[in-house]
Amino acid sequence: MKKIIVCVTSDLATDNRVDKVCTTLHNMGFEVMLVGRRLGDSPSLAPRPYVAKRMRLLFTRGFLFYTEYNIRLFFLLLFNRGNLILANDLDTLPSAFFASKLKGKPLIYDSHEYYTEAPELIDHRKIKRFWQRLEKYMIPKVNAAYTVCHSIADVYSQLYHIPFRVVRNVPHSANSKLTGVDIPAKKPFIIYQGVLNVGRGLEETIRAMQFLPEASLLIAGSGSIEKELRTLAETLPVKNIFFSGRILFDELRLITPHASLGISLEKDLGLNYHFALPNKLFDYIQAEIPVVVSNLPEMKRVVNEYNIGLIASSHNAEKLAETLRKALFDESLRKPWLQNLKTAAAELTWENEEKIVREIFEPYL
């Protein structure tokens, strides 16, 4: 059995894309080892069909974290039996690249985003140039590559003259008659699920809720601006904003279907967000709830193709509240959306998308 070592910098608990890829590889016949890190608040992992290893590091962020992680990962890859390496995102690529060259093993690259155009790097030119140089040196030399949407695939293919396949981060089919959990339906609620970082439109959405007292907002996730968001919500004269903290994706799948609307309101902060196609959009679709998304090309394309929601024209709080109200209560819109969501949910499933993963990895079995 061929062994593949999969590398990520997350703590594995909520990384749904990586779990789906690893499970597909396991089902193909690979022996899979997934390597990430353990944080102080990392929850225990549910049983998985593959090996999951989490390294405990001294540093948790910044230059020292990336340096320590890549050194530790490099030696793990160097001295661990493996026939193939899969690097997820640019922050795992240095150690995976050099280990693959020293061992003469193939290297596959999965880019979850346009890494060097992330908002966190826009104002840090020296750090951005450092990652760009690494990217320019290493990506043209990988054996195969894929990413999350066509826009990013086109950019990388043009920059580095290698083909990038597209594997969207769509969920498994919910055909298992998912019933969800009992949630008191005092008023319709809007759900945001995902990381709480800069540029997700969360501040604007929270402010919009003061103009939308007939609905509630559930923010399901955690991240670097969670404290600021909670403080902002507490300053408003309404009490219709709720924070759940981080929820494991198996539990979140039980909650999302009870929402009346899902939002993905990323701001146009650099090319990474401009080309965003977040997995939460597909999770909302699989839960068959209408959506409101930013006027960004990849999200707009999906929503318009299936006619399942509205495109927000502005992040202004009052205008956004009107868009959300229309999406929540205009039955002439919601009736066709709900019907179209059944079609979208049937087509946008991992069972369909994983066929591309199999095509990429089959030559290495």
Tens-digit pLDDT string for the chain (365 aa): 899 999 999 999 888 899 999 999 999 999 999 999 999 888 889 899 999 999 999 999 899 999 999 999 999 999 999 999 999 999 999 999 999 999 999 999 999 999 999 888 888 899 999 999 999 999 999 999 999 999 999 999 999 999 999 999 999 887 544 444 445 457 899 999 999 998 999 999 999 999 999 999 999 999 999 999 999 999 999 899 999 998 877 788 889 999 999 999 999 988 999 999 999 999 999 999 999 999 999 999 999 999 999 999 999 999 999 999 999 999 999 999 999 999 999 999 999 999 999 999 999 99
Q: What length is written for the chain?
A: 365
Task: Identify whether 329 is part of a domain.
Answer: yes
Full domain range(s) for residue 15:
3-169+350-364
Residues 142 and 203 reside in one and the same domain: no
Residues 103 and 239 reside in one and the same domain: no
Task: Identify whether 182 is part of a domain.
Answer: no
Residues 276 and 317 reside in one and the same domain: yes
Nearest to 255 by CA among 213, 299, 286: 286
How many domains would you assign to the chain? Answer: 2
Residue recorded with tokens 């924070």 = 243
Residues 95 and 15 reside in one and the same domain: yes
Residues 228 and 359 reside in one and the same domain: no
Task: Identify whether 174 is part of a domain.
Answer: no
Q: Which residues pair with 88 in a beta bridge?
A: 110
Residues 308 and 208 reside in one and the same domain: yes
Q: Are 243 and 8 in contact (CB under 8 A)?
A: no
- What is the domain-level CATH number for residue 258? 3.40.50.2000
**Cβ atoms within 10 Å, residue 247:** 17
Residues 200 and 339 reside in one and the same domain: yes
Residues 111 and 259 reside in one and the same domain: no
Residues 138 and 275 reside in one and the same domain: no
Task: Identify whether 178 is part of a domain.
Answer: no
Task: Identify whether 45 is part of a domain.
Answer: yes
Task: Identify whether 58 is part of a domain.
Answer: yes
Residues 98 and 241 reside in one and the same domain: no
Residues 19 and 149 reside in one and the same domain: yes
Task: Identify whether 177 is part of a domain.
Answer: no
Task: Identify whether 29 is part of a domain.
Answer: yes
